Amino acid sequence: MRNLILFFLVFLFPAMHAQSRSDLIKADNPNYAYIGRFDFSDRIHPVFMYSGCRIRTVFEGTYLELVMDDDSLRNFFTVIIDKNISVLHTVRKDGHYIIADNLSSGIHTFEIIRRTEWHGGNTTFSGIILEKGRTIFRPEIKERKIEFIGNSYTCGYGNEGKSRNEPFRYETENNYMTYGAIAARDLDAECLMVCRSGIGMYQGYGGHPEFNMPAFYDEVVLNCSQMWDYKMYQPQVVVIDLGGNDLSAELDSGKFINAYIDFLARLRKNYESAIIVCIAGPSSEGDEWQKWRRLIHSIVDKVITTDPEVHYFEFSPFVPDGSDWHPNVEQHTMMAAELTLFLEVLTGWQINY
């Protein structure tokens, strides 16, 4: 009931509150933490599009209003005030959303995380509005950092869908509850996601050679020529989960292996000391699964002779139960548990129970 009241306020009363609570803390304030890929060409209006991009700060007062424009008005976001989680659907053309009202006086944490993926368009953050005279403070940024590179499994496509027969809907895609996001939280690490549904390492779903991760990896947001500056985020661990879409059509194994090895070399130039994990799966049992395993194994076996910090990992096979035969939240949680244990051993990081 509390969340229902919250979103009733979000959608109906922003203008009334804005008159008496008009201190906008602009997006260029140094006390915002931006985790993920953001285009800062306009410092007071940073733009983002990838699943998992997050903005975090600490604020004082009883009220918070978000100012954020969404290109398509169809994206969803996880909002966390202190430890209370709610969901925001960005449907307002004016971009104003009351996120919290009548909080206890004092200091609170605020975080907003994009649940939906790149084809929902760009999102522009302009700041938050607090009560007059209130301000924000620098939040915690974790020292541990992971980058996840992947496809729909990494995005969270259909993970809140109720069956395999459900088609894609934005409201059932929740990146916050994907294997990568859960594993990062369990390992007390920040995470950056570079993921697109349907993308492959050599070819996209259905055999489209133009839709491959090497071609799009440097991109920050849609309709912008600016490329990502890798000095902005230096992860200790990079996790790659690609191959399922490549195998959805006839595949030249040699070209796939070469594309993957070239991409690993590119990653190594960007991240000189990172541990790189190459994943096979998730998949159901069968010939495609066995081929996927063999391909990733062969890539790691070749590369490890000159780069010992490249590693192989596979998820236990299962039949996905989310929308369009994708893992659901329960299965993502299972995947996260497997990956977390593997990364704990690999890095020496302790699990956050």
pLDDT band (50, 70, 90) for residue 22: confident
What are the structure tokens assigned to 187, written together? 């390992």
> How confident is the model over 222-237, as a mean pLDDT?
95
Element (H, E) at 214: helix 213-216
The pairing of beta strand 190-195 with beta strand 54-60: unpaired
> What confidence score (pLDDT) does residue 14 get?
45
Lowest-confidence range among 19-23, 175-179, 257-261, 316-320?
19-23
Residue whose C-alpha is closest to residue 93's, from 24, 14, 34, 29: 14
The answer to whether residue 8 scores a pLDDT higher than 50 is: no
Report the alpha-carbon distance of residue 247 to residue 148 in Å, rounded: 20
Question: Please, which pLDDT band fits residue 351 given cuts at 50, 70 and 90?
Answer: confident
At residue 268, the pLDDT reads 98
User: What letter would DSSP give residue 247?
Assistant: G
Helix (H) or strand (E) holding 77: strand 76-81
Q: What is the 3-state secondary structure (H, E, C) of 98-119?
A: EEECCCCCCEEEEEEEECCCHH
Provide the residue type at 247 as one letter.
L
Pairwise CA distance, residues 146 & 192, whole Å: 6
Is residue 98 a contact partner of residue 9, using CB atoms and an 8 Å limit?
Answer: yes
pLDDT band at 21, cuts 50/70/90? low
Predicted local confidence at residue 352, as pLDDT:
74
Both tokens of 230, joined, read 């890798």
Confidence band of 325 (pLDDT split at 50, 70, 90): very high
pLDDT at 308: 98
Rounded Cα distance, 333 and 315, in Å? 12
26 pLDDT exceeds 70?
A: yes
- Which domains, and CATH codes, for the chain? 2-137 (2.60.120.260), 145-347 (3.40.50.1110)
Instruction: Tell which residue, 186, 185, 118, has the closest CA to residue 152.
Output: 118
Q: At residue 4, does pLDDT exceed 50?
A: no
Per-residue pLDDT at 123 exceeds 70: yes
Q: What does the pLDDT read at residue 24? A: 97
Instruction: Give the pLDDT of residue 189.
Output: 98
Residues 190, 143 contacting (CB under 8 angstroms): no
Rounded to whole angstroms, the Cα distance separating 326 from 156 reads 8
Task: Examine the pLDDT at 161 and tell me if it is beyond 70.
Answer: yes
Residue 23: predicted pLDDT:
87
309-313 — which CB contacts under 8 Å span 24+ positions? 309/273, 309/274, 309/275, 309/276, 310/264, 310/276, 310/278, 311/275, 311/276, 311/277, 311/278, 311/346, 312/277, 312/278, 312/280, 313/277, 313/278, 313/279, 313/280, 313/339, 313/342
CB of 90 closer than 8 Å to CB of 96: no
